[in-house]
Chain A
């Protein structure tokens, strides 16, 4: 199968980026929107064609989905260790192509309406194209180094898009924060890559992931502090993934990233870039599973579970709807990580892996829908805050229905997409780790509660005073909402377990009716609670908030994570370490250099008189020198 046409998928957005980016003063906004949408449309069609080709025509060899790889060696170090550029087509990369192209196309179409009249309209589309290119490159990478390159590229485009409103100080701060935090985590990723290169001897996914390959079989050959070096490498790579996917200690950038335009939040910070960390772990899943009996994988599971719970709790208290959605994203990402962490490898054991990818897929659809719907609401009322909204269902009928669909999907109510994937996750957790299962069920209830809290808060309740009557957005914005709404219902019926499994062999997934019933019941309980609290304007919520008192305050301030980080960086690093280092630099290093400079100037002032410019003085020195040299050569020469 000739797969080289797949190169077009990333390169078309790149070409669009270059075209728009280099000519952004010359291309009219009306034209640039069409260019961006059209370029991505071609990529999307190619992505679907690729998926069709892979899943139904070429991918299956003897009943197993094998990766199809096209490599171009770039830098060669040893026989196995080389940095390549190429395509890696397997089930999850094809699935990611579908996710990225679909969501990106929807966001492009949506942005044509949402960004209308913005000064940087063309620039915005250029950045979106850059991001799409990077994300395609990321999912198609054949080796760790290639993925790292694109990893940083998505980081840069995320930075550019968060700071898109660059006149707003908070946006600049958020962009810097996102960049620095993820960069910090990527440092771990880089070290992990280097460890892999040194100890496993290859960067290539195919070689690393081969269960009979030397990288996996020889994991015990070197150990460091009680763990295999390969495990350390995997954990460091997971640190990089945790940074991008906003897992627990590195989550602080994601809420602030909501300063970017809402379509950006939908594309990057809900559906695609943030799942890169999940994708990375899934990409190296055989390594995580086989090396040291899955120690690294259990860490992944716990980090995912704790992040999921942590974020869901915070999401309840937030009043900025985009921030609620951001914490919800973090919570769902934790879910995916957790599912990966509890997964096995062979046959039906791999249900966690499958569920994680399935949830990634469905979550991308309904979370993008939630963000775009929130964007539509924000567009209508010009505020991010729940207190400025209420009773909007009359004014925004399309947004209302689609938002409701997405909320039901994320709450895990059948037959919406989220139900199917969440159910599989809970099944996987139940079979492997009961503690994580209970966390998962609790989080499912919380999710339903906070989601319907904002749903009721926005579309029901009392009408607020609006500057001008809110109106439904233009067709360019509602059409993507409707498409994504349809997808949020439909994608749950895809038999994912036939296609995406760790070992490539499909299996039959069945609903586990008791577990599904529990999950649905918990979801409905959450919705009912939200109904009671927020359907009508009442004081119940405030009363309960007061009853929780200190705990509520802690949660409202996101457990003071930002403050702790600030304390560590400002007080300890800046004042303690950096100040003394700066002092040393100023006094000792600079001082030495300054003194050398001063002394040189001083000395030259003193001796510049020797260079009198008078020929005769030079002649005197010359003759004297000749005489002295002659004396030396004649009287002191070594015989």
Chain B
């Protein structure tokens, strides 16, 4: 059952991702991205990282996508057709990407991952403890740093977007 769900998710994600980078309408592009992000949240659910899936949905699906939609609405007409890059450039990019995919997959498939069979469920409490632990392997310092970073980004975003006082 999970197997089929994964395949459905995977194929739809790839399709939406391609659509997202190829669509000539800005708004649609953003919405296709939303589908991809939601698909990733689905994968997180499948591997039992519920908390991560929730973050994915709230931060990406809720925050980032909404920001993007707003910015699209601010700077574009919805019906505006985007211009495409030169065909030659697209072909070059596609070839580079295809070679990259080939190389990466080849490496992945020749490497023997020491997979551990498990069906552990990670609870939010575990993540929270680890995140705030200051013992060995604790993440409290990066946690604090990231909070500072978010604050700085927030202020920076306000300052930049506000522009000069007029």
Task: Enumerate chain A interface residues (CB-CB to B < 8 A).
Answer: 620, 623-624, 626-627, 630-631, 634
In the bound complex, how far is the Cα of B94 from the Cα of A623, in angstroms? 12
Interface residues of B in 98-154 (CB under 8 A from A): 99-100, 103-104, 107
In the bound complex, how far is the Cα of B99 from the Cα of A359, in angstroms? 100
- Judge if B72 is at the interface, Cβ distance under 8 Å: no
Given A620-B89, A630-B107, output 10 extra A-B contacts at Cβ < 8 Å. A620-B93, A620-B96, A623-B96, A623-B100, A624-B96, A626-B100, A627-B96, A627-B99, A627-B100, A627-B103
Could you jot down 19 A-B contacts, CB within 8 Å? Answer: A620-B89, A620-B92, A620-B93, A620-B96, A623-B96, A623-B97, A623-B100, A624-B96, A626-B100, A627-B96, A627-B99, A627-B100, A627-B103, A630-B103, A630-B104, A630-B107, A631-B103, A634-B103, A634-B107
Closest residue on chain B to residue A630 by CB atoms:
B103
Residues on the B chain within 8 Å of A627, using CB: 96, 99-100, 103
Closest residue on chain A to residue B110 by CB atoms:
A634
In the bound complex, how far is the Cα of B100 from the Cα of A631, in angstroms? 9
Closest residue on chain A to residue B100 by CB atoms:
A627
Number of contacts between A and B (CB, 8 Å)? 19
**Binary contact readout B10-44 vs A (1 if CB under 8 angstroms, 0 otherwise):** 00000000000000000000000000000000000
Closest residue on chain A to residue B85 by CB atoms:
A616
Task: Enumerate chain B interface residues (CB-CB to A < 8 A).
Answer: 89, 92-93, 96-97, 99-100, 103-104, 107
In the bound complex, how far is the Cα of B107 from the Cα of A627, in angstroms? 12
Residues on the A chain within 8 Å of B100, using CB: 623, 626-627
Residues on the A chain within 8 Å of B99, using CB: 627
Residues on the A chain within 8 Å of B92, using CB: 620
In the bound complex, how far is the Cα of B99 from the Cα of A634, in angstroms? 14
Q: Which 6 A-B pairs have the closest CB atoms?
A: A627-B100, A624-B96, A627-B99, A631-B103, A623-B96, A630-B103
Closest residue on chain B to residue A627 by CB atoms:
B100
Main secondary structure of the interface of A (DSSP, over half): helix
In the bound complex, how far is the Cα of B99 from the Cα of A630, in angstroms? 11
Within the complex, the shortest CB–CB distance from A49 to chain B, in Å, comes to 82
Residues on the B chain within 8 Å of A620, using CB: 89, 92-93, 96
Closest residue on chain B to residue A626 by CB atoms:
B100
Residues on the A chain within 8 Å of B96, using CB: 620, 623-624, 627
Within the complex, the shortest CB–CB distance from A630 to chain B, in Å, comes to 6
Within the complex, the shortest CB–CB distance from B61 to chain A, in Å, comes to 27
In the bound complex, how far is the Cα of B109 from the Cα of A404, in angstroms? 118
Residues on the B chain within 8 Å of A624, using CB: 96
Residues on the A chain within 8 Å of B93, using CB: 620
Within the complex, the shortest CB–CB distance from A463 to chain B, in Å, comes to 94
Residues on the A chain within 8 Å of B97, using CB: 623
Closest residue on chain A to residue B95 by CB atoms:
A624
Within the complex, the shortest CB–CB distance from A190 to chain B, in Å, comes to 69
Residues on the A chain within 8 Å of B104, using CB: 630
Within the complex, the shortest CB–CB distance from A586 to chain B, in Å, comes to 48
In the bound complex, how far is the Cα of B103 from the Cα of A627, in angstroms? 8
Within the complex, the shortest CB–CB distance from B70 to chain A, in Å, comes to 24
Closest residue on chain B to residue A631 by CB atoms:
B103
In the bound complex, how far is the Cα of B92 from the Cα of A225, in angstroms? 78
Residues on the B chain within 8 Å of A630, using CB: 103-104, 107
Within the complex, the shortest CB–CB distance from A144 to chain B, in Å, comes to 72
Residues on the A chain within 8 Å of B89, using CB: 620
In the bound complex, how far is the Cα of B96 from the Cα of A620, in angstroms? 8
In the bound complex, how far is the Cα of B96 from the Cα of A470, in angstroms? 103
In the bound complex, how far is the Cα of B92 from the Cα of A620, in angstroms? 9
In the bound complex, how far is the Cα of B27 from the Cα of A68, in angstroms? 102
In the bound complex, how far is the Cα of B100 from the Cα of A627, in angstroms? 6
Closest residue on chain B to residue A628 by CB atoms:
B99
Within the complex, the shortest CB–CB distance from A619 to chain B, in Å, comes to 9
Residues on the A chain within 8 Å of B103, using CB: 627, 630-631, 634
Closest residue on chain B to residue A625 by CB atoms:
B96
In the bound complex, how far is the Cα of B51 from the Cα of A345, in angstroms? 112
Closest residue on chain A to residue B107 by CB atoms:
A634
Within the complex, the shortest CB–CB distance from A11 to chain B, in Å, comes to 67
Closest residue on chain B to residue A619 by CB atoms:
B93
Within the complex, the shortest CB–CB distance from A337 to chain B, in Å, comes to 87
In the bound complex, how far is the Cα of B32 from the Cα of A167, in angstroms? 88
Within the complex, the shortest CB–CB distance from A551 to chain B, in Å, comes to 94
Within the complex, the shortest CB–CB distance from A283 to chain B, in Å, comes to 80
In the bound complex, how far is the Cα of B104 from the Cα of A620, in angstroms? 17
Residues on the B chain within 8 Å of A631, using CB: 103
In the bound complex, how far is the Cα of B102 from the Cα of A630, in angstroms? 12
Within the complex, the shortest CB–CB distance from B75 to chain A, in Å, comes to 18
Within the complex, the shortest CB–CB distance from A632 to chain B, in Å, comes to 11
In the bound complex, how far is the Cα of B106 from the Cα of A634, in angstroms? 10
Within the complex, the shortest CB–CB distance from A637 to chain B, in Å, comes to 12
Within the complex, the shortest CB–CB distance from B108 to chain A, in Å, comes to 11
Closest residue on chain B to residue A624 by CB atoms:
B96
Within the complex, the shortest CB–CB distance from B104 to chain A, in Å, comes to 8
Residues on the B chain within 8 Å of A634, using CB: 103, 107
Closest residue on chain A to residue B97 by CB atoms:
A623
Within the complex, the shortest CB–CB distance from A248 to chain B, in Å, comes to 84
Q: B89, B100, B104 — which one has the most chain A CB atoms within 10 A of its CB? A: B100
Closest residue on chain A to residue B106 by CB atoms:
A634
Residues on the B chain within 8 Å of A626, using CB: 100
Within the complex, the shortest CB–CB distance from A613 to chain B, in Å, comes to 15
Within the complex, the shortest CB–CB distance from B10 to chain A, in Å, comes to 23
Q: B92, B93, B104 — which one has the most chain A CB atoms within 10 A of its CB? A: B93
Within the complex, the shortest CB–CB distance from A36 to chain B, in Å, comes to 69
In the bound complex, how far is the Cα of B96 from the Cα of A634, in angstroms? 17
In the bound complex, how far is the Cα of B97 from the Cα of A626, in angstroms? 11
In the bound complex, how far is the Cα of B96 from the Cα of A627, in angstroms? 8
In the bound complex, how far is the Cα of B101 from the Cα of A630, in angstroms? 12
Within the complex, the shortest CB–CB distance from A197 to chain B, in Å, comes to 69
In the bound complex, how far is the Cα of B104 from the Cα of A589, in angstroms? 54
In the bound complex, how far is the Cα of B110 from the Cα of A634, in angstroms? 11
Within the complex, the shortest CB–CB distance from B20 to chain A, in Å, comes to 17
In the bound complex, how far is the Cα of B96 from the Cα of A630, in angstroms? 13
